[in-house]
Amino acid sequence: MRRAHTVEQVRAAEAARMARLPEGTLMQRAAAGLAATCARLLPRVYGSRILVLAGSGDNGGDALFAGALLARRGARVDALLLAPAKAHPGGLAALRAAGGRVTSDQSLFSTADLVLDGIVGIGGSGGLRPGAQVFASLPRRGRVVAVDVPSGVDPDTGEVPGAALRADVTVCFGTYKPGLLVDPGASYAGVLQLVGIGLELPDPALAALQHADVAALLPVPDAESDKYRRGVVGVAAGSARYPGAAVLAVAGALHGGAGAVRYAGTAAAEVVRRFPEALVTDGGPAGAGRVQAWVVGPGGGDGAARALGEALASDVPVLVDADGLTELARLGPAALAGRRAPVVLTPHTGEAARLLAGAGEGPPPAAAELAAARLATVRRLAAAYRATVLLKGSTTVVAEPGGAVRVNPTGTAWLATAGSGDVLSGLAGSLLAAGLAPLDAASAAAYLHGLAGRSAAEGAPTTALAVAAALPQVWRAVRAGRGPGAEPDAPVRA
């Protein structure tokens, strides 16, 4: 599990640690780790040209001390101070003593072999200040290494309220910060490198599953298993207008670990033609027979309202997607009140906007606004509907009401293809039917779906059905601990 902590959590852990260590120890550890990463990124340190951008706080201090270490190894290091009067005195003295120089020449940004972004770290707020904005758009030749956080990215949320400096690598200290794992911030961070500085940290604010975590969650049949004990997942999806959504949701469900898939809806003939192993009925969930979880809504069209009502009236977990969400938004959170079994909602940002409006949170916000504030959005939705919410998009995030939040590290923009969301809802519903808790089912499904998307695409456009077809190989890779993302220290973003 990759864990991320908020600024408040990091500061508390740092304060506790610093009380027991000589002053400056943590900064020395941070700078040493930072310099080591920079050295690995350069063909050779000796003779390379390095520009340090140093702001007014300790983030600038880290960058200056790292610059000093690199200067001692023969690099030519220039430091551009964004607030010269407030530059970290110890860091500046160390840099000068090592032969580094202070410069005001901004063109070095474009000629340096490596740029260290020490403008602002976890003390940052708002976008880059005017004096630093120029670096967000200057051409670059060498790599940019962000110190702790790319300057301009909000460390706690990943929001990017103004200009920010895009990094190739971010070296973060002590723990990941949520803003490094969630878009848009994550897309500014590049590859993440964690440097331990010996902090003792509390439960994380945000976590990202890794291969071993997902492998431990995946249901595996044993000698006692039969198809019913493995769980039956019901899929109420598709309509005369959108029969394909039924096929895609069933395709996802068939690869999610349930022992059987029961389809209920008007696309029964299409489903059986494609998947003879599915059990089908052309009525709604109420008359479909016993299942351990329902998936309602993909391509549901006019039938979504009835299917949602019948599924919610059952006593098993219900996953609501697509047209089911539109109907739920119309009804508002009251439709879920009194339900004992869990509810999982899987909106994209457009559906999230409708759900928020349906919860009485004012007029529907613009989807783009919600995408820019993914963590806040998923938390608001989970709280308003008292349900587990998986918010889809450039970074998929999953939240429980008032509780844990998970971020999916495996996504790929190739998944932005019609119908891939239907595969995801079938898959997640199947994991729910197999007995996984809602947060685990949703986040494991997103993890597998992302890997399947990568594997199906391999750099070329793919289709939703191909994503479903790639699921078995992805299961095997995750269970065997191999394939992309398998190494514990694999970059969060491939």
Ligand X SMILES: Nc1ncnc2c1ncn2[C@@H]1O[C@H](COP(=O)(O)OP(=O)(O)O)[C@@H](O)[C@H]1O
Shortest separation between residue 442's beta carbon and ligand X, angstroms: 11
68 exposed, middle or buried (CB, 10 Å; 0-12, 13-18, 19+)?
buried
One of 33, 67, 91, 121 touching ligand NAX (CB under 6 A): 121
How far apart (Å, rounded) are the C-alpha atoms in residues 236 and 316?
14
Beta carbons of 197 and 206 less than 8 angstroms apart: no
- Residue closer to ligand X (CB basis): 80 or 397: 397
Scanning 104-112, 124-132, 445-453, 454-462 for contacts with ligand NAX by CB under 6 A, the matching segment is 124-132
393 binds ligand X (CB under 6 A): yes
Determine whether the annotation assigns residue 156 to a binding site. no
Per DSSP (E only), the strands in 287-442 are 293-296, 318-320, 343-345, 388-391, 397-399, 405-407
The partner in contact with residue 421, picked from K ion, ligand NAX, ligand X, none with C-beta cut-offs of 5 to 8 angstroms by kind, is ligand X
**Which tokens belong to 456?**
């199906």
62 binds ligand NAX (CB under 6 A): yes
The partner in contact with residue 62, picked from ligand NAX, K ion, ligand X, none with C-beta cut-offs of 5 to 8 angstroms by kind, is ligand NAX
Beta carbons of 433 and 293 less than 8 angstroms apart: yes
**DSSP code string of 408-460:** -S---GGG-STTHHHHHHHHHHHHHHTT--HHHHHHHHHHHHHHHHHHHHTTS
One of 30, 108, 147, 253 touching K ion (CB under 5 A): 147
58 binds ligand NAX (CB under 6 A): yes
**DSSP code string of 28-85:** HHHHHHHHHHHHHHSS-STT-EEEEEE-SSHHHHHHHHHHHHHHHTT-EEEEEESSGG
Determine whether the annotation assigns residue 299 to a binding site. yes
Order of all β-strands in the sheet with 143-147: 101-103, 76-81, 49-54, 114-118, 143-147, 169-173, 191-195
Shortest separation between residue 287's beta carbon and K ion, angstroms: 59
How far apart (Å, rounded) are the C-alpha atoms in residues 292 and 261?
10
Scanning 58-66, 146-154, 336-344, 386-394 for contacts with ligand X by CB under 6 A, the matching segment is 386-394
One of 3, 12, 14, 394 touching ligand NAX (CB under 6 A): 14
Determine whether the annotation assigns residue 59 to a binding site. yes
Determine whether the annotation assigns residue 222 to a binding site. no
Report which secondary-structure segment, H or E, holds 263: strand 260-264
Per DSSP (E only), the strands in 107-250 are 114-118, 143-147, 169-173, 191-195, 206-208, 232-236
CB atoms within 10 A of CB 287: 10
One of 88, 348, 380, 493 touching ligand X (CB under 6 A): 348
**Which tokens belong to 414?**
């190739």
- Residue closer to ligand NAX (CB basis): 62 or 159: 62
377 binds ligand X (CB under 6 A): no
One of 254, 424, 433, 470 touching ligand X (CB under 6 A): 424
- Residue closer to ligand X (CB basis): 300 or 421: 421
Determine whether the annotation assigns residue 255 to a binding site. no
34 binds K ion (CB under 5 A): no
Determine whether the annotation assigns residue 127 to a binding site. yes
58 binds K ion (CB under 5 A): no
62 binds K ion (CB under 5 A): no
DSSP 366: P
Beta carbons of 373 and 417 less than 8 angstroms apart: no
98 binds ligand X (CB under 6 A): no
How far apart (Å, rounded) are the C-alpha atoms in residues 2 and 409?
10
**Which tokens belong to 55?**
């702001």
Report residue 9: phi and psi, to 5°.
-65, -40
239 binds ligand X (CB under 6 A): no
Binding mask 129-168 for ligand NAX (x = CB under 6 A): x--x--------------xx--------------------
Scanning 98-106, 203-211, 421-429, 481-489 for contacts with ligand X by CB under 6 A, the matching segment is 421-429
Beta carbons of 293 and 233 less than 8 angstroms apart: yes
The partner in contact with residue 18, picked from K ion, ligand X, ligand NAX, none with C-beta cut-offs of 5 to 8 angstroms by kind, is ligand NAX
Tell me the chain's radius of gyration from C-alpha atoms. 25
- Residue closer to ligand X (CB basis): 42 or 478: 478
Alpha-carbon torsion 210, 213, 217, 222, what sign?
A: positive
**Which tokens belong to 88?**
């970290």
Contacts of range 412-415, beta carbons closer than 8 Å, 24 or more positions apart:
412/450, 412/453, 412/454, 412/457, 414/453, 414/454, 414/456, 414/457, 414/461, 414/462, 415/449, 415/450, 415/453, 415/457, 415/467
Determine whether the annotation assigns residue 211 to a binding site. no
Contact set for ligand X, span 431-470 (CB under 6 A)? 449
One of 392, 406, 454, 493 touching ligand X (CB under 6 A): 392
357 binds ligand NAX (CB under 6 A): no
324 binds ligand X (CB under 6 A): no
Q: Which amino acid is at 38?
A: C
Determine whether the annotation assigns residue 315 to a binding site. no
The partner in contact with residue 349, picked from ligand NAX, ligand X, K ion, none with C-beta cut-offs of 5 to 8 angstroms by kind, is none
Q: Residues annotated in the binding site for K(+), as ranges? A: 59, 117, 151
Binding site for ligand X (CB under 6 A): 322, 348, 392-394, 396, 411-413, 415-416, 418-422, 424, 449
Known binding positions for AMP: 392-396, 421
Query: Residues in the site for ligand NAX, rule: CB under 6 A?
Result: 14, 18, 26-27, 30, 55-60, 62, 119-126, 128-129, 132, 147-148, 173, 197
Annotated binding site: 58-62, 117, 121-127, 148, 151, 245, 299, 348, 392-396, 421-422
